[in-house]
Structure 1
Amino acid sequence: MAFIDGIKRQLRSVIEWQNPDPDALLEQWTENGDEIKNASKLIVGPGQGCIFVYQGQVKAIIEEQCLVNLETDNIPFWTTIKKFMQFFESEHKVGIYFFRKTKILDQKWGTTSVIKYQDPKYHFPIGLKAYGNYSYQIADANAFFVTIVGSHNRVGIEAFRKIISARIIEPISDYLAECGYSYADIDANRDEISRGIAIKLAIAFRKLGFSISDFRIEGTDFDEDTTRRINRIADLTAEAQAAQAVGLDYAKVQQLDAMRDAARNESGAAGAGMGLGAGVALGQNMAQGLTAQVQTANTGLEDITAKLTQLKQLYEAELISETEYAAKKQELLAKF
């Protein structure tokens, strides 16, 4: 059997990526341990690419669908490699890696940690969570192999998605810190934010050898601390608008609420007494304020009445004309 196996290793071989796993993004060709034999043929199928690695360095990349006869075709990189391999037997083996050239669609992403930035309008820290999807494809096989693949003989789509998700956080955080969107504006400007983030991601990921496209934000959420702050702002805003609608000063409404809460304190008779006392004191203050307002109004009324009487006397004594009398009278009545 060993003799027959030795003969088989010297027979021609077809090198191709047949029926790749749906999750495979890049995979090393092994063919059950067979070596690259004399008269071997390389087949690169539709939507595939092929990387040749020799002594740890990328020597050539084929990105077009083709059939290559490795014995007779004049391929510079292959001719160079054969000089080091006597009869295709060498201690230095050629690594052949197939990869997908097609675009990988509809990949889900989600922030693995909270994105933190300062709200530009309310000036409090925001903790944002986001999720969405995107598409990508290998654009620079050499850079992809050097920066991502390394010593691995396989890279799966799912594993690579996790790598991308981990690298998305920083560009998103940088963009949100720069764009000046308050928490209330994020959903309304989701498309614009997606486009801005996509530009940053394209620049960052191009260095890793792949391009990213169709980046979208499908939803956002906030952490507990941010949600609590947002709810507090919403409550205060609603109370202020309600107070304004009925003609009340918001500060007075807050004072009434505080006195009411104190009066409802269930911590004992002393607390209840304090609440009642505070409520009585507030009632007295409000009553005093109302009395002062009534007194001020009465004083103004008496003053205008006295001036009208004096004006009538001046007119009857013919000290002012009828026109002057009518104009001054109208002026005083307008104040009333």
Structure 2
Amino acid sequence: MAAARLVEAAAVSKPRALKEGMNNMAFFGNQFSDVVEWNEFRDDMIFWKWNNDEIKKGSKLIIRPGQDAIFLNNGKIEGIFEDDGEYDIESQIVPFLSTLKGFRFGFNSGMRVEVLFVNTKEFTVRWGTQNPINIPAPQMPGGMPIRANGMFQFTVNDYTTLIDKIAGVRNSYLVEDVKIRITAILDQLLMKWVTREGKDMFNLQANAHEIGKGISDDLNMELMDDGMKITGFQVMSFNYPKEIQDMINKNASIGMVGDVGKYQKISVADAMAKGGSSGSSSAADMAGMMVGMNIAKDMVETMKESNGGNQQAANGQGPNFCPNCGQRNEGAKFCPNCGQKLV
């Protein structure tokens, strides 16, 4: 059975405090309801207020999984019911309401009441920058325009503040409403955390976790004023202009190769492939000539090393390379790798 959590008036600052000593509420009318439940439930709805009917004797309260039901009197919390199930309002709910403890349905008339249903799940929202953000970068006076995208998560954590700031004047609230508020300040927060402490503008993905954590803390301060809490913020990717991305990719390729000579060979091979695909024989011929020159150069160097090794062998010294396994030799008489006699 669901039980409302009641607290003293001195603890009203707590998220789910229930105030004692408010004015009694017993307004009667002719329009009654047999069931109090979330009639317009949507998975992206944060809360929905039941406030159009009166409750009569024998009425039921239905709380579904993932919902809390909050009874309100003049915008103030009377009782919070968290356990899902079906309850008789007269016998199982009213005795736990702070100002209605003595009220009993002794008449066929009804009691007017507001019930706020809150979706208790953690919401996940995808976000993306609507326009490029110009990030200050060296030798780029206008800044470097980047885009970003990712996700954030939030949940309701303070019912008193939620009612005071939003639910007191609205009958429902959607995830889209929160998303609009977040994206309105997201560009400024991205600018703040991307440029913080001199991060590498050309490798922002390496700092994505740190940037997301900083933005999450700032967004949490914003949503706390509405009774909600950011539980996570992730930057999935940063997107650079094509020219910048091509330059980043090229620099990364050079770094991976680690040798200018090898990079030149890769460039020549690329030129040959492009020449072949475009039908340009001159480009292919030039590339082929460059490859041939490099191969010839390598052969000359190999011959020099081989001749040097033979000369060393003639002088009683081991060759530069082991003829058995190819291991480089520093003048030893036996190969340090396979033990082959070298002199």
User: TM-score category by the smaller chain?
Assistant: 0.5 to 0.7
Matched-pair identity in %:
22
Counterpart secondary structure, 2:202: helix
Whichever residue aligns with residue 50 of structure 2, its letter is: W
Rounded to whole Å, the distance in 1 between the matches of 2:99 and 2:50 is 17
Query: Partner of 2:38 in structure 1?
Result: 17
Please tell me whether the aligned partners of residues 126 and 151 of structure 2 are also in contact (alpha carbons under 8 angstroms).
Answer: yes
Query: Partner of 1:56 in structure 2?
Result: 75
1:134 and 2:152 are equivalent in the alignment:
yes
Match of 1:79 among 97, 100, 119: 100
Deviation at 1:100, TM superposition (A): 0.6
Task: Summarize deviations over 1:230-269 as a string: whole Å, max 9, x none.
Answer: 58998xx9xxxxxxx89xxxxxxxxxxxxxxxxxxxxxxx
Match of 1:65 among 76, 84, 87: 84
Whichever residue aligns with residue 34 of structure 1, its letter is: D
Distance 1:61 1:178, change over 3 A: farther
Counterpart secondary structure, 2:173: strand
Please tell me whether the aligned partners of residues 95 and 101 of structure 2 are also in contact (alpha carbons under 8 angstroms).
Answer: no
Query: Partner of 1:194 in structure 2?
Result: 212
Rounded to whole Å, the distance in 1 between the matches of 2:211 and 2:184 is 19
Deviation at 1:181, TM superposition (A): 1.4
Task: Summarize deviations over 1:53-76 as a string: whole Å, max 9, x none.
Answer: 332344443334355543234214
TM-score normalised over the length of structure 2: 0.52
Q: How does 1:246-285 map to 2 (within 5 A)?
A: none
Tell me which protein shows more helix as a share of its residues.
Answer: 1
Rounded to whole Å, the distance in 2 between the matches of 1:232 and 1:221 is 12
1:206 and 2:245 are equivalent in the alignment:
no
Query: Partner of 2:122 in structure 1?
Result: 103
Unaligned runs of 5+ in 1: 1-5, 238-244, 247-336
Distance 1:197 1:81, change over 3 A: farther
Match of 2:53 among 13, 22, 34: 34
Compare CA radii of gyration and give the structure with the larger one: 1
1:144 and 2:165 are equivalent in the alignment:
no
Q: In the comparison of the two structures, how many residue pairs are matched?
A: 223
Query: Partner of 1:276 in structure 2?
Result: none
Match of 1:170 among 180, 188, 194: 188
Distance 1:7 1:135, change over 3 A: closer
Counterpart secondary structure, 2:71: strand
Deviation at 1:108, TM superposition (A): 0.7
Unaligned runs of 5+ in 2: 1-27, 252-259, 262-343
Rounded to whole Å, the distance in 2 between the matches of 1:158 and 1:182 is 33
Counterpart secondary structure, 2:55: coil
Whichever residue aligns with residue 189 of structure 2, its letter is: P
Counterpart secondary structure, 1:190: helix
Deviation at 1:210, TM superposition (A): 1.8
Deviation at 1:78, TM superposition (A): 5.1
Q: How does 1:148-163 map to 2 (within 5 A)?
A: 148-163=166-181
Rounded to whole Å, the distance in 2 between the matches of 1:150 and 1:231 is 49
Rounded to whole Å, the distance in 2 between the matches of 1:80 and 1:115 is 57
Deviation at 1:80, TM superposition (A): 6.5
Please tell me whether the aligned partners of residues 129 and 149 of structure 2 are also in contact (alpha carbons under 8 angstroms).
Answer: yes
Please tell me whether the aligned partners of residues 150 and 237 of structure 2 are also in contact (alpha carbons under 8 angstroms).
Answer: yes
